[in-house]
Amino acid sequence: MLSHPEKSKAAKLGLSNYGRWDFSGLEVQLAQRYGIPLHVDACLGGFLLPFMERCDFAVPPFDFRVSGVTSISVDTHKYGFAPKGTSLILYREVNLLHHQYFCYGDWPGGIYATPTLSGSRNGCAIALTWATLLYYGRLRYTERTQAIIEATRLVRAGIESNPHLEPLGDSDVSVVAFTSNKFNIYALADRMNKVGWTLSTLQNPPASVFMRIIGLLEEGILVGVIAALLGAQACWDFAERDEGKTYCSLLIKTFCGVLIVHVCVTMNHTKSGVVDEFLRDLSSACEDLIANPDLQHTRTAAIYGMASAVPDKCLVEEVSYMFLDSCYAMPAPVLAGRTLSIEGRKMSLIGGQLPTFSPGGLVASATTSDPIYETKPTQNSLT
């Protein structure tokens, strides 16, 4: 995401959900031209890209070797194989790190200083992460990167050979995204899930972000944006037309209608026979959906199909708020059956049930027509 410095001081880039490089010289030029600090989101590929170079894979420069990059975020719990909760953000300069700190010298409890918004982090998870890094080291991380990239290439080749599927992007690292024009791709994801495979569902490729800045960029830069989003062929198609921005807008709006899923290749896929089994199950699921269209009516297909049909996405977000509220909602308190009167000397019951109390507790109940009625104090009652 690129913004003018008056609006924002950040640019977020990195490995996308569609298996393409998001980082290129275009973003560096824009950041330097408008004075925008450039952040590289390497949360997914942060423990793959550096070791791909050691495996002799072509990797464009993306780190602090690029002069415009000011910060990089990395998730250690993904391809770093460490416990979750120890993600990192790296800064080029210390003065940028100071913006992350919170220090308060007038707190009655003493001088308060914390390096993160969390206030504190789990020391056990940090120790386990450090031990994990020492265990794997450069050599083991390089070996695992080699295996993951090779498995990704095999998955990509298998999807390309499937007549019912259409791969998207270039699958540069570990993500293979694909779609289908023959059936609902979300139904395929649900069907694969039933046999033990997880495919992540995607919606609305981030074209709307680029549509908002069309009027702010020169046409030459816009060609690069289209190339990064849709590939080289779309870039050439755009360059050969005179309509320029109008064609770009139409192209993006068309692309927004594509339903996509992706598979994120991990070490599990590098085991012997796993990729072949995945491709067999994928082909079988495609054939089932083609032979029986009724199988396409699945839960995920229904949810995302309904959401995509709503023109105002604020309504979809409101439903999401309702879902989260239900997760944190507390059950309504149960109305107490035994209360004290105003004087505090008599016991009354609210409701139509008349329990009988004994030293062992509630043993029986009877009904009454009065919503509020009194019982005579007994030895076990409050007086």
Residue 83's pLDDT is 92
Q: Which residues contact 45 (CB under 8 A, 6 or more apart)?
A: 14, 15, 79, 173, 174
Residue 266's pLDDT is 86
pLDDT digits (tens, 9 = 90+) for 225-255: 444 444 444 443 444 444 443 333 333 333 4
Question: Distance between CA 226 and CA 237 in Å, rounded?
Answer: 10
pLDDT at residue 159 is higher than 70: yes
pLDDT at residue 300 is higher than 80: no
Question: Which residue bears the tokens 């994120």?
Answer: 264
**How many angstroms separate the Cα of 126 from the Cα of each of 83, 123, 275?**
8, 5, 33
Residue 251's pLDDT is 37
pLDDT at residue 260 is higher than 80: no
Residue 67's pLDDT is 84
Check if the beta carbon of residue 337 is closer than 8 Å to that of residue 349.
Answer: yes
* Domain ranges across the chain: 12-203+260-297, 338-375
When computed from its CA atoms, the radius of gyration of the chain, rounded to whole angstroms, is 30
Average pLDDT over residues 276-298: 86
**How many angstroms separate the Cα of 89 from the Cα of each of 86, 134, 210?**
10, 19, 26
pLDDT at residue 180 is higher than 80: yes
Residue 381's pLDDT is 45
pLDDT at residue 161 is higher than 90: yes
Residue 16's pLDDT is 64
Question: Distance between CA 285 and CA 87 in Å, rounded?
Answer: 36
Residue 134, φ and ψ in degrees, nearest 5 = -65, -35
pLDDT at residue 374 is higher than 70: no
Residue 359's pLDDT is 54
Residue 265's pLDDT is 87
Residue 235's pLDDT is 41
Question: Which residue bears the tokens 């309702």?
Answer: 322
Model pTM score: 0.67
Residues of the chain with pLDDT > 70, as a percent, come to: 62
Question: Distance between CA 109 and CA 92 in Å, rounded?
Answer: 33
Q: Which of 3-7, 117-121, 194-198, 309-313 has the lowest mean pLDDT?
A: 3-7
CATH architecture type of domain 12-203+260-297: Alpha-Beta Complex (3.90)
* Alpha-carbon dihedral sign for residues 223, 224, 229, 232: positive
Ranked by mean pLDDT, the top range of 118-122, 180-184, 340-344 is: 180-184
**How many angstroms separate the Cα of 201 from the Cα of each of 58, 189, 222, 252, 301?**
28, 7, 28, 20, 10
Residue 299's pLDDT is 64
Confidence of residue 366 (pLDDT cuts 50, 70, 90): very low
Mean pLDDT estimate for the chain: 73
**How many angstroms separate the Cα of 219 from the Cα of each of 31, 215, 241?**
17, 9, 12
Question: Which residue bears the tokens 């695992």?
Answer: 144
Confidence of residue 335 (pLDDT cuts 50, 70, 90): low
pLDDT digits (tens, 9 = 90+) for 35-93: 888 888 888 889 999 999 899 888 888 889 888 889 999 999 999 999 998 999 999 99
